[in-house]
């Protein structure tokens, strides 16, 4: 039998949890001030995973992030000195969304091996797994969180990594160990004083992680277009998608203050996991449409690169960014250089 004291304890616990989350966000060091000499494109060499060749046992190209930047620099549209390097997300940062129990579970190499889908990782010392796998992921989480701040300040931002949309507060999977999308949105609610965020998830896979995390949060509108015949087959999470097809309809139904765009390239023809047949030009057109959607509504947008399981993905992403620059939807020249 429920007593008056036990029923009143529930909202008290919820209130205490919300206060703790808010305090963690306010005390975080991830929202660094970025000088105008930098452009809102975020990357660190620490993003790239090189782990005694073991990383090659997964189809994901774990050097993709660095190769994107190298292609942009080779084409002369970007300079290393103008790239923003993020801080690593700390344990307190991660606890904004994740539980102590989930983070502790990552101290098991077996658990991490299941999440990243590379079985041999299970037999490795966890100190190596933390340094070689989870540290790069935590740097990318820091990049995703910072990208929201930069998007509000500059109108757009691109984290060359991130987009771990299969990870929720209590469960990782599909090469996603931390819920960077959920984290960046919770940080934005508190630090950027916004209350409406739209997630546009156009990766080939369903974004079941953020869908679970925001299942009962009407501040977040989710548009998710994915191949329903592939991983993760999460029927519960599908119930929390607000819009499955038309971008225009989503814009009319919800007036966002920030767009989080999960721009996976596993939609490419030939991708072994996405199993769709979109051309490289199609990816550029897709990205252009999303950026134009945000520009026409004067809504800040942050882009995450998410999935993509072919070596060609890095070049396709770089070409799409070059196209966005050419169409004046982003500006890869810093404001100081233009003066």
Distance CA 270, CA 140 (A): 27
| Residues comprising the chain, all counted | 339
Distance CA 20, CA 59 (A): 39
The DSSP secondary structure of 21-68, one letter per residue, reads: HHHHHHH-S-S----TTS-SEE--GGGS--STTGGGGSSS-TTHHHHH
* Contact partners, residue 18, CB within 8 Å, separation at least 6: none
Question: How many Cα atoms occupy the beta-carbon half-sphere of 323 within 13 Å?
Answer: 19
Tell me 243's DSSP state. B
Distance CA 190, CA 9 (A): 25
Terminal Cα distance for the chain, rounded: 71
* Contact partners, residue 30, CB within 8 Å, separation at least 6: 86, 87, 89, 93, 142, 145, 146, 187
Tell me 230's DSSP state. S
Q: What are phi and psi of 30, to 5 degrees?
A: -70, -25
Catalytic (active site) residue 210: no
Catalytic pick among 165, 166, 186, 205: 166
> Which residues partner with 205 through β-bridges?
none
Pair of tokens at residue 217? 């949060």
CB atoms closer than 10 angstroms to residue 203: 25
Triad 253, 201, 317: Cα angle to 5°: 130
Q: Which residues are catalytic?
A: 166
């Amino acid at each position: 039998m429920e007593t008056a004291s036990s029923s009143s304890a529930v909202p008290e616990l919820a209130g205490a949890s919300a206060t703790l989350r808010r305090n963690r966000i306010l005390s975080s060091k991830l929202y660094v001030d970025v000088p105008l000499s930098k452009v809102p494109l975020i990357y660190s060499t620490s993003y790239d995973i090189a782990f005694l060749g073991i990383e090659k046992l997964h189809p994901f190209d774990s050097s993709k992030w660095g190769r994107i930047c190298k292609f942009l620099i080779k084409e002369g549209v970007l300079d290393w000195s103008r790239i923003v390097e993020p801080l690593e997300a700390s344990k307190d940062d991660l606890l904004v969304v994740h539980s102590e129990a989930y983070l502790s579970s990552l101290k098991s190499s077996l658990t991490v091996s299941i999440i990243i889908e590379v079985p041999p990782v299970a037999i490795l010392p966890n100190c190596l797994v933390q340094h070689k796998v989870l540290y790069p992921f935590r740097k990318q989480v820091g990049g995703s969180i910072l990208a929201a701040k930069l998007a509000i300040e500059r109108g757009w931002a691109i984290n060359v990594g991130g987009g771990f949309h299969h990870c929720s507060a209590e469960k990782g999977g599909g090469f996603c160990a931390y819920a960077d999308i959920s984290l960046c949105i919770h940080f934005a609610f508190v630090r950027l004083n916004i209350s409406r965020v739209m997630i546009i998830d156009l990766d080939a896979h369903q974004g079941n992680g953020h869908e679970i995390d925001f299942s009962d949060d009407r501040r977040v509108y989710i548009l998710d277009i994915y191949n329903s015949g592939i991983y993760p087959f999460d029927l519960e999470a599908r119930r929390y998608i607000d819009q499955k097809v038309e971008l225009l309809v989503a814009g009319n139904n919800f007036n966002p203050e920030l767009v989080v765009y999960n721009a996976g390239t596993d939609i490419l023809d030939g991708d072994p996991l996405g199993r769709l047949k979109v051309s490289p030009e199609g990816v550029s057109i897709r990205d252009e449409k999303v950026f134009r959607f945000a520009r026409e509504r004067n809504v800040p947008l942050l882009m995450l690169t998410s999935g993509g399981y072919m070596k060609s993905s890095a070049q396709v992403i770089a070409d799409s960014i070059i196209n966005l620059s050419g169409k004046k939807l982003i500006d890869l020249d810093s404001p100081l250089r233009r003066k």
